[in-house]
Structures are given as structure tokens and as C-alpha cells.
Chain A
Amino acid sequence: DVKVTQSSRYLVKRTGEKVFLECVQDMDHENMFWYRQDPGLGLRLIYFSYDVKMKEKGDIPEGYSVSREKKERFSLILESASTNQTSMYLCASTRSRGGYTFGSGTRLTVV
């Protein structure tokens, strides 16, 4: 089974902190994604990557950056965490034309 592993299930960070969310997949998928999920707003794409060192902005990239130094790892960085970034963060991966495999999610609370 394809596995997408997110490093933390729950995180609590302070406003202004730099936050790293890590995601690792084990099936050699080219494409990786970061979404955030909020009640009433659904899944919104933050950033995605279709190859190592390649990245593209999604629909809501402001306040975030990403890093993909290795094919299996895609990191989401909150440069200076704010309370409006409190959310569930979901990482996903896929080959070019298949369904996504999601990680279990990281519930981030910024206080």
C-alpha cells in the first residue's frame, strides 16, 4: 500500500514561530501537494510540486513556502505562524493520472 506519512498528528505553535510540516511518501510519486482543510471551506490547495526542486503555487500560497529536495519528501513551511493558519493540513501524492493518496493530516493550532 502507498503510504503518505505526515510527521505530526497535532502541533501547537506560538504566533510568529517558523513552523515546518513534513510529508514523506514511499511510492516514488512524482506529484505532491499540500492542502488545508477548514470547516465550510473544504480542501484548498496551498502548494504543489511535480518534481524535485519544482514547486507551484496553489490557490492560497500567502504565508507559506515549500521545499522538495528529495522526491519522497515535501515540506510545508509557515514563515511566521499566525492564528488564521490554525487548520488541518493534509499532504497528498499521486502519479500523473491517478487518485491522490492523502496522509493522516496535521492539526495545527497557532496560539
Chain B
Amino acid sequence: GQQVMQIPQYQHVQEGEDFTTYCNSSTTLSNIQWYKQRPGGHPVFLIQLVKSGEVKKQKRLTFQFGEAKKNSSLHITATQTTDVGTYFCAGPSGGSNYKLTFGKGTLLTVNP
């Protein structure tokens, strides 16, 4: 079945440093979604990318979808303590646009 791999599993940074997490799918994706889960919280939808090569920004967060639509990245510029949490990517699976397979996530911790 489809697999969605994320690296790294953990990342610890000093406040102000940049952070990037990468997502790779074993199959071509029609779209990719990103979620953030704060410690003790639930996943919250951040963004969906649909087009090959698409780049979207949300303040200090930059999301990219690869040209082949099999990989994606999330980059955070100048991390803040509020960025702490686990970042998940997710892609459609089983031929469905609404059923998602999630990566295992990257846990980001930020040292103030």
C-alpha cells in the first residue's frame, strides 16, 4: 500500500534557527496536506498543496510540493517557541481524495 515517509523524526533547534521537514510518498499524489499537533493537542490542518511545483507561504512557514508530486517540504524561518509540536504530512490513499495516509510526523522542539 501507499507509504508516506517523513524525516527527520525529531528536530531540536535554538530559537531563531530555521527548520525543515521532508515528506516522501511511494506514489504520485493528487495533493498533499500538512498538519500541526501541539503537545497534548490534536492535529490542526495547516495547508493543502495541489499543483506540481507549488509553493505556498504562511508567515514564516513555506510549503513546497515537488515537481513529480511525490515529495513535499515544510520550512520554518526563524523558529519561535510557539512553533513547538509535531508536523505531519498526509496524502490521499486508496484512490480516494478524502481518505488520507499520514506520515509519522516530525517532532520539533525549540530551545528559548
Contacts and interface: CB of A to CB of B under 8 A. Distances in A.
Contacts of B99: 31, 33, 45, 48, 58
B105 A42 contact: yes
Nearest to A98: B48
Majority SS at the chain A contact face: loop
Contacts of A101: 45
Contacts of A103: 42
Interface stretch (A17-25, A75-83, A89-97): A89-97
B63 interface: no
Contacts, number: 51
B97 A102 contact: no
Contacts of A100: 33, 35, 43, 45, 100
A3 to B, nearest CB: 12
A59 to B, nearest CB: 8
A104 interface: yes
B85 interface: no
A84 B61 CA distance: 37
Contact of B97 (A43, A97, A105): A97
